[in-house]
């Protein structure tokens, strides 16, 4: 009885293998084939006999996604219609008009046209409100940001006609913009804090990140940089090789940067430093937080393990699984975990996912509830996860990278009133309106003058509160008072963004940022015990 059944199964597998790219596992060929046949059979029954009409492809996509959830939190299936959008995150350019916009009360408003981009060349200005795109209304129709991207982006050389309203003009304008290639920078900003200290913020590791970083670092070196603050806060990762090449700029000699361990040895790799880097000596501080993940953690972990940098901030996210993108025949993509990352000392970056996807996604909420974002002593590591850096310092694995200097998240200025203002985009809208009303005065100031002398006064905060009340956010004197320091900084930074560009925005924010101030203290103070220990060794 058993032999004919096995023979039939093998015959069926042979027919399947000849007809499509399905390949059973070498380890469990029978189980793999049976699972494949079972799924195919059930889907056929549902499609043919179920009481209502069904979309078999959508059901299949859903089943695949749920199956992958049983493996780990980062193996994912991306349907064909979402694949392009998912991949755009790692692209360093795109075709479009080059404009930063926001949605204020369901109206698309230009925050800033990108420098020398098509929108700027066509005359778009901060504060312009877009009413229609190619004759199709976009104001008051509840578009999402992604839908608006879809209307503004398109093949280079094609044109798009925008109907806009502008402050001071009685009638709408019609503006034709010819799309072109737009840089999608991943190095958000690079500037000199003082005559020796540079600051570089990297938002993700995209295809052009390393080249952008090299260019920014070289420019700062020419301005006199001898010490550096590298900001990886909120960086979700991206291409690993861009992160390891960046690490190579800081780590001298031939030293391990990262290694991966997968099933068998097919996906086992080791990456070493090998080039003469741009900044292998000099004080280096890296800012990290709970939003720093994957490739950002690989970079931070390598620098910490080799005692090359002081890490400042909070424990990183804890994503240490390697995904391989696999293009499928219908244009969809499978991103399958094929290995784990390990830092040079042997630490696994990946946090536990034994509780399932639901619990995994609550990890940051649990950190908040347990006080980990506010008190370093609330974070506990098992002794079994203890490792040593190159010079003998104790570090821990098993769930992100713990910084050398912990900086608690500052929530003292947050209030329910502030949250309501932000949720309705009223802070950004007020800043943009202020810029429009004071454009001539602001343009008469150099940014350095603006940074040192410009203040958001009580009068502006009262105007913000009055405008918020008109838009359904009731006045809250106590909430406004509590959030006053935060609102002053944010409004000033947003006004600077419209008047002077993205770099000005970050420079203003960093003036009052607790983590940035701690980083500057660590990198600038020669007697700082952590930095001194690293430099001596």
pLDDT digits (tens, 9 = 90+) for 275-284: 999 999 889 9
3-state DSSP assignment of residue 273: coil
pLDDT above 90 covers a percentage of the chain that reads: 53
Q: What is the C-alpha separation between 356 and 250, in angstroms, rounded?
A: 37
Average pLDDT over residues 308-313: 94
Tell me the three-class secondary structure of 212-254, residue by residue: HHHHHHHHHHHCCCCEEEEECCCCCCECHHHHHHHHHCCCCCC
Lowest mean pLDDT among 3-12, 223-232, 319-328, 378-387: 3-12
Lowest mean pLDDT among 163-177, 349-363, 522-536: 522-536
- Look at residue 4 and tell me whether its pLDDT is greater than 50: no
Average pLDDT over residues 433-443: 91
Give Rg (Cα) of the chain: 27
Average pLDDT over residues 59-88: 86
Average pLDDT over residues 162-168: 88
pLDDT of residue 416: 92
- Look at residue 209 and tell me whether its pLDDT is greater than 80: yes
Q: What is the C-alpha separation between 125 and 119, in angstroms, rounded?
A: 8
Q: Which one of 203, 319, 348, 363 is the catalytic residue?
A: 319
305 catalytic, yes or no? yes
pLDDT of residue 20: 45
- Look at residue 474 and tell me whether its pLDDT is greater than 80: yes
Q: Which of 305, 496, 279 is nearest to 395 (CA)?
A: 305
- Look at residue 536 and tell me whether its pLDDT is greater than 60: no
Residue 520 · residue 531 · CB < 8 Å: no
Range of 244-248, 374-378, 384-388 with top mean pLDDT:
244-248
pLDDT of residue 23: 62
pLDDT of residue 437: 92
Q: What is the C-alpha separation between 78 and 99, in angstroms, rounded?
A: 28
- Look at residue 409 and tell me whether its pLDDT is greater than 90: no
Query: Locate tokens 């347990």: which residue?
Result: 370
Query: Locate tokens 């402050």: which residue?
Result: 167
- Look at residue 526 and tell me whether its pLDDT is greater than 80: no
> If one looks up domain 93-183 in CATH, what number appears?
2.30.42.10
pLDDT digits (tens, 9 = 90+) for 491-505: 999 999 999 989 999
Q: What is the C-alpha separation between 276 and 269, in angstroms, rounded?
A: 22
CA dihedral 116, 117, 121, 124 (to 10 degrees): -120
Average pLDDT over residues 407-422: 89
* C-alpha dihedral sign at 392, 397, 400, 402: negative
Average pLDDT over residues 346-355: 90
More confident residue, 159 or 102: 159
The confidence band for 482, taking pLDDT boundaries of 50, 70 and 90, is very high
pLDDT of residue 11: 37
pLDDT digits (tens, 9 = 90+) for 358-375: 888 888 888 888 888 887
The confidence band for 268, taking pLDDT boundaries of 50, 70 and 90, is very high
Q: Which one of 75, 283, 294, 483 is the catalytic residue?
A: 294
- Look at residue 213 and tell me whether its pLDDT is greater than 50: yes
More confident residue, 189 or 34: 189
More confident residue, 529 or 9: 529
Average pLDDT over residues 454-473: 94
DSSP secondary structure string for all residues of 334-357: EEEEEEEEE-TT--B-PPP-TT-H
Average pLDDT, the chain: 87
pLDDT of residue 9: 38
Q: What is the pTM of this model?
A: 0.86
**Residue 351 region, left (φ>0) first, then alpha (ψ -120 to 50), else beta?**
beta
Residue 125 · residue 165 · CB < 8 Å: no
Q: What is the C-alpha separation between 379 and 197, in angstroms, rounded?
A: 31
439 catalytic, yes or no? no
Alpha carbon of 404 to those of 197, 200, 376, 395: distances in Å? 20, 20, 11, 9
Q: What is the C-alpha separation between 235 and 57, in angstroms, rounded?
A: 34
pLDDT digits (tens, 9 = 90+) for 8-36: 433 333 333 333 455 656 666 788 888 88
Average pLDDT over residues 259-265: 89
More confident residue, 19 or 488: 488
- Look at residue 201 and tell me whether its pLDDT is greater than 90: yes
Helix (H) or strand (E) holding 510: helix 502-511
3-state DSSP assignment of residue 88: helix
pLDDT of residue 453: 94
Q: What is the C-alpha separation between 334 and 327, in angstroms, rounded?
A: 7
pLDDT of residue 532: 56
User: What fold is seen in the domain 187-409?
Assistant: 2-enoyl-CoA Hydratase; Chain A, domain 1 (3.90.226)
Q: What is the C-alpha separation between 76 and 516, in angstroms, rounded?
A: 35
With a CB cutoff of 8 Å and minimum separation 6, the contacts of 329 are 21
Parse the chain into domains and list their residue ranges. 93-183, 187-409, 416-517
- Look at residue 244 and tell me whether its pLDDT is greater than 90: yes
Distance of CA 40 to the CA centre of its chain: 38
Alpha carbon of 482 to those of 26, 203, 479: distances in Å? 63, 30, 5
Range of 59-68, 142-151, 192-201 with top mean pLDDT:
192-201
Average pLDDT over residues 327-346: 91
pLDDT of residue 142: 82
With a CB cutoff of 8 Å and minimum separation 6, the contacts of 423 are none
319 catalytic, yes or no? yes
């Amino acid at each position: 009885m058993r032999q004919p059944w096995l023979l039939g199964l093998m015959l069926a597998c042979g027919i399947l293998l000849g007809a499509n790219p399905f390949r059973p596992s070498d380890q469990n060929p029978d189980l793999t084939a049976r699972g494949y046949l079972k799924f195919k059979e059930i889907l056929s029954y549902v499609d043919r006999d179920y009481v209502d009409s069904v979309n078999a492809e959508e059901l299949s996509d859903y089943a695949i996604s749920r199956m992958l959830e049983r493996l780990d939190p980062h193996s994912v299936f991306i349907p064909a219609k979402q694949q392009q959008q998912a991949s755009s995150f790692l692209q360093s350019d795109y075709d479009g008009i080059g404009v930063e916009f926001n949605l204020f009360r369901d109206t698309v408003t230009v925050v800033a046209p990108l420098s020398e981009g098509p929108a700027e060349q066509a005359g778009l200005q901060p504060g312009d409100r877009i009413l229609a795109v190619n004759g199709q209304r976009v104001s008051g129709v509840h578009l999402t940001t992604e839908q608006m991207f879809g209307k503004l982006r398109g093949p280079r050389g094609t044109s798009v006609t925008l109907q806009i309203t502008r402050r001071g003009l009685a009638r709408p304008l019609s503006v034709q913009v010819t799309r072109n290639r737009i840089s999608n920078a991943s190095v958000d900003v690079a500037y000199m804090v003082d005559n020796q200290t540079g600051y570089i913020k990297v938002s993700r590791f995209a295809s052009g990140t390393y080249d952008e970083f090299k260019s920014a670092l070289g420019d700062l070196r020419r301005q006199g940089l001898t010490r550096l603050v590298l900001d990886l806060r909120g960086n979700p990762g991206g291409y690993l090789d861009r992160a390891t090449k960046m690490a190579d700029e800081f780590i001298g000699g031939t030293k391990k940067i990262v290694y991966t361990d997968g099933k068998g040895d097919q996906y086992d790799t080791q990456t070493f430093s090998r080039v003469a880097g741009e900044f292998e000596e000099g004080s280096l501080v890296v800012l990290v937080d709970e939003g720093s993940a994957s490739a950002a953690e690989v970079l931070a972990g390598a620098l910490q393990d080799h005692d090359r940098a002081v890490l400042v901030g909070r424990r990183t996210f804890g994503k240490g699984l390697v995904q391989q993108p696999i293009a499928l025949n219908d244009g969809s993509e499978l991103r399958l975990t094929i290995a784990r990352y390990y830092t040079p000392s042997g630490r696994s970056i990946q946090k536990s996912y034994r509780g399932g996807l639901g619990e995994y996604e609550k990890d940051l909420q649990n950190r908040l509830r347990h006080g980990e974002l506010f008190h370093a002593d609330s974070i506990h590591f098992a002794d079994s996860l203890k490792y040593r850096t190159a010079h003998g310092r104790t570090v821990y694995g098993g769930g992100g990278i713990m910084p050398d200097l912990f900086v608690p998240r500052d929530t003292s200025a947050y209030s329910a009133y502030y949250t309501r203002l932000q949720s309705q985009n009223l802070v950004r809208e007020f800043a943009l309106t202020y810029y429009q009303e004071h454009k001539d005065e602001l343009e008469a100031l150099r940014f350095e003058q603006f940074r040192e002398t410009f203040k958001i006064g009580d009068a502006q905060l009262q105007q913000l509160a009055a405008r918020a009340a008109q838009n359904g956010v009731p006045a809250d004197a106590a909430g406004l008072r509590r959030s006053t320091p935060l609102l002053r900084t944010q409004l000033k930074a947003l006004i600077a963004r419209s008047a002077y560009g993205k770099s000005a925005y970050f420079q203003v924010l960093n003036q009052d940022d607790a983590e940035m101030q701690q980083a500057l203290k660590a990198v600038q103070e020669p007697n700082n015990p952590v930095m001194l220990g690293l430099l001596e060794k």
